Amino acid sequence: MTETVESRPSAELVGAGDQPQLYLGGQWVDPHSTETLEVFSPATGERVGSVPLADDTDVNTAVEIARTVFTSGVWRDRTPADRAAVLNRAADLINERMGDISALVSAEMGATPTDVATLQGLPATGVLQGYAAAATDFPWEELRTGMFGETLVTREAIGVVGAIIAWNVPLFLLANKFGPALAAGCSIVLKPAPETPLNANLLAQIFTEAGVPEGVISVVPGGVTAGQTLVDHPDVDKITFTGSTAAGRAIAARCGDALKRCSLELGGKSAAIVLDDVDLESNIFMLVFSAGLINAGQACVAQTRVLVPRSRHDEIVSAMVETAKTFVPGLPTAEGTMLGPLITAKQRDKVEGYVAKGKEEGATPALEGGRPDGLESGFYVTPTIFTGVTNDMTIAREEIFGPVISVIAYDTVDEAIEIANDSDYGLAGSIWTSDVERGVEIAKQVRTGTLGINWYAIDPASPFGGFKNSGIGRENGREGLESYLEHKSILMPMGYMTPQA
């Protein structure tokens, strides 16, 4: 039986602009910190708003609230169906307010409002609904018969969760942390990226309005110091992190010292394997989009190594170049914009450095990007497509996080698989072919957590995560929910038979 949860009325939602308070435990409170975090648009350089820069005391306060409410059981002890209903209600509210949400996210990180709605909003509500379904169907208790008779196996909320997310798809990442934590019955303290804190405040309020009790959710905007305080806090039972591999290693080390649970969704250097039977006309746009132009290349799942058969190399490269030229850079609000800015001037400099490094190491730009005219106030760079790339080059080994694609030629499918697997990462990938069954057999040989045949997407009901340096653990579906749970075994007396319902 599914329970109906009434969402409670809330105060006016606060989004863009200057917010002088912190959202702790579902309420606006004055911060201990006296510092402010300023937010600027990467598209125009204009000031978007500000939030308090949470200090150690603010983080400690948030964790204390989360621990108190978790111990009380006010959320943990509600039925899974009840928690699922709240998640579904939150998804509905996000859909209802997507116009305002996407405009705010666009202002913070530069993607067009349409791209935010389709590439972040749709996946965000999808994972919330997916976790709601997983919670409803999950075997929270099961009876097992073993050597000594019956054992009752239960799954229980892990406790207080510290969530740290990146700036590139903040709406989706927030939902993919809140979803499993709340479905499991945990309390959560979120540290959004310092570049995109405003939407986190707005979305946290929506979850409160959907029915999450006071005390369960807190938002602590900040930088490295706030993140370290959250990771090291003894009352935080689990850390979930999405971001760079370097930061993930540091977090894993700190969690290891404390024997704290952690899950890490990190970087990627994924490969798109284009087979010799590919229908190029039907697939070229999606190939180029997922290879390096999605979100201006700022996506951990981008398949930036495109492996092409030598027999069709020139044909495929020509089609890629012509397609990439159609990705018009521009302001997020301008009609026809297909390529937004990079997040900061530092990131643009980094991407330009990789382009220079590629040429220095012998790769040839079939299309060389640059800073477009008329957009000097933002951090724009147009696409680069390299040919003559070998898999030992820097641009083929390191995550660039910008619109730079490396084309690598191969002679046999076995060689393509070997190149795809010759990476420190293993997050995503794709196979492009007219023979789906053949594509699946090749996909099974690629050591990466997710792949697509003739496209790429993250399915809300299926596990998402990576091999090797791409992370630890899985998000989405039952696997994502289970990582927020502890297992308990209750051994019955010998010979005891549990009464049947």
Whether the CB-CB separation of 456 and 428 falls below 8 Å is answered with yes
Closest CA to 183 of 489, 478, 487, 488: 478
Report the distance separating Cα 185 and Cα 166, nearest Å: 24
CA pair distance 235, 233, nearest whole angstrom: 6
> Are 381 and 370 contacting, i.e. CB atoms less than 8 angstroms apart?
yes
Within 352-397, strands assigned E span: 364-367, 384-387
- What distance in Å separates the CA atoms of residue 99 and residue 498, rounded to the nearest whole number? 53
Q: Among 64, 108, 195, 265, which one carries the catalytic annotation? A: 265
Contact 232, 28 (CB under 8 A): no
265 is catalytic: yes
Cross-strand bridge partners of residue 464: 475
Strands 22-24 and 27-29: antiparallel
Query: How distant is the alpha carbon of residue 268 from its chain centre?
Result: 12
Among candidate residues 186, 255, 262, 300, the one labeled active-site is: 300
Q: Write down the residue that tokens 């450095």 correspond to.
A: 353
Q: At what angle do helices 198-210 and 80-96 cross, to 10 degrees?
A: 130
- φ, ψ (nearest 5 deg) of residue 326: -80, -10
The Cβ of residue 312 has, within 10 Å, a number of other Cβ atoms equal to: 17
**From CA 344, how far away is CA 479, in angstroms rounded?**
34
Q: How many CB atoms lie within 10 A of CB 18?
A: 14
Distance CA 307, CA 422 (A): 12
* 337 vs 334: CA distance, rounded Å: 6
Looking at residue 51, what DSSP letter applies?
E
Catalytic site includes residue 262: no
Q: Which residues participate in catalysis according to the annotation?
A: 265, 300
